[in-house]
A and B are shown apart, each in its own frame.
Chain A
Amino acid sequence: MTIIVFAILALLATTAVIVARMRDLWAAIMFTGIYSFLSSSWMLILDAPDVAFTEAAVGAGIATVLMLGTLALAGKQERRTEKSPLLPLVVVTLTGGALIYGTLDMPYFGDPNAPVHLYPDPSFVEKSQPDMHGLPNVVTAVLASYRGYDTLGETAVIFTAGVAVLLILRKEDEEPETSASPADVEALR
């Protein structure tokens, strides 16, 4: 088990560095897909199969396709920056250091005394099955019933995001197909 954990974490770190250093965007997108699959495996090891599903389907599947779609519109190569990377490096190092310092205070993984296992009342887990007509899945019970209002908000957020993307990106289907060049269209505007 530990060998798998170390292997996956090492591969995650390697993939992240490769993505950051890569100039060829097409390959970088493929590597982000690999990164998603690796983190999905990692979440499976952490006993979070729901999150693993989502990561595999959204991160590796849909997001990769959408990024490839963007690439088809925007070009394959990243432009080289002329500015010195020194200031960003300092900022990133400081932020990373602060984050790592912050994790030192966190409880160990799986610690039964961790705040997340004490609040809210652990009886949530015990009472959910009788409350829910014997449905055994506490995650679903919390998401859809105890916190149903929050999930309604999340669904509304997804809907709003979809509407926003459509408003920005959608091509009018009613628009007649003309042979005008882009310059002509610009002139018309």
Chain B
Amino acid sequence: MKTFPIIRVVTKVLIPYILLFAFYVQFHGDYGPGGGFQAGVILAAGLILYGLVFGLDAVKKVAPPIVVEKLMALGVLLYAGTGITTMLLGGNFLDYNMLEHSLFPHYLPSGQHLGILLVELGVGIAVTAVMTMIFYAFAGRKHIA
């Protein structure tokens, strides 16, 4: 699809906003609608759009499969790791009240807020990576992009 100028230009204009919206949904998910899963699929949709228009090789340069497949596991590990951390701090698994701290109380989230932020980030990373890897697996079978 690289040869269609209108598609190429429109995609180039849209992708930054798609990515920005994904980050908004991710980090504003505690206040408004959204969260890790939604942000992850929006981010992955942005990457897939890029891959469809500019080719599989181009998007593999942006998000190398070797990195993305590790991010799949990293997301789950970040989620479970938050739970383990709260256990090490003396609470139950995923008991975010243990993450309470008094460092810059108005700027850094703490306690429940910090816990939610971390696990949502884990979900977001895992979902983005899984969706992107599935796209690579499908698209890599035959030259469709």
Q: How far is the CB of A39 from chain B (nearest CB, A)?
A: 15
From known contacts A140-B116, A145-B112, A165-B137, infer whether A159 and B31 are also in contact, taking CB-CB under 8 Å: no
What A residues does B90 contact at CB under 8 A? Answer: none
A66 in contact with B112 (CB, 8 Å):
no
B126 in contact with A159 (CB, 8 Å):
yes
B35 in contact with A65 (CB, 8 Å):
no
A129-155 vs B, Cβ < 8 Å mask (1 yes, 0 no): 001110111011101110011011001
A54 within 8 A of B: yes
Give the complex CA separation of A76 and B134 in angstroms.
21
Q: How far is the CB of B110 from chain A (nearest CB, A)?
A: 7
B33, B42, B94, B131: the one contacting A49 at CB < 8 Å is: B33
B30 in contact with A66 (CB, 8 Å):
no
A61, A72, A135: the one contacting B48 at CB < 8 Å is: A61
What B residues does A166 contact at CB under 8 A? Answer: 69, 133-134, 137
From known contacts A133-B112, A135-B112, infer whether A57 and B38 are also in contact, taking CB-CB under 8 Å: yes
> What's the tally of chain B residues with a CB closer than 8 Å to chain A?
55
From known contacts A152-B83, A155-B126, A163-B72, infer whether A50 and B116 are also in contact, taking CB-CB under 8 Å: no
Q: How far is the CB of B35 from chain A (nearest CB, A)?
A: 6
Give the complex CA separation of A135 and B32 in angstroms.
9
Give the complex CA separation of A49 and B111 in angstroms.
27
Query: What are 17 A-to-B residue pairs whose CB atoms are below 8 Å?
Result: A53-B42, A61-B41, A62-B41, A72-B144, A131-B112, A135-B112, A143-B35, A145-B94, A145-B116, A151-B79, A155-B126, A159-B75, A162-B72, A166-B69, A170-B140, A171-B140, A171-B141
A-B residue pairs, 7 tightest by C-beta: A162-B130, A69-B138, A49-B33, A57-B41, A169-B137, A148-B94, A61-B45
Further pairs besides A61-B45, A69-B142, A69-B144: 7, Cβ < 8 Å: A54-B38, A137-B31, A151-B123, A155-B79, A156-B76, A166-B133, A171-B141
List the interface of chain B (C-beta within 8 A of A): 25, 29-35, 37-38, 41-42, 44-45, 48-49, 52, 65, 69, 72-73, 75-76, 79-80, 83, 93-94, 96, 109-113, 115-116, 119-120, 122-123, 126-127, 129-131, 133-135, 137-142, 144
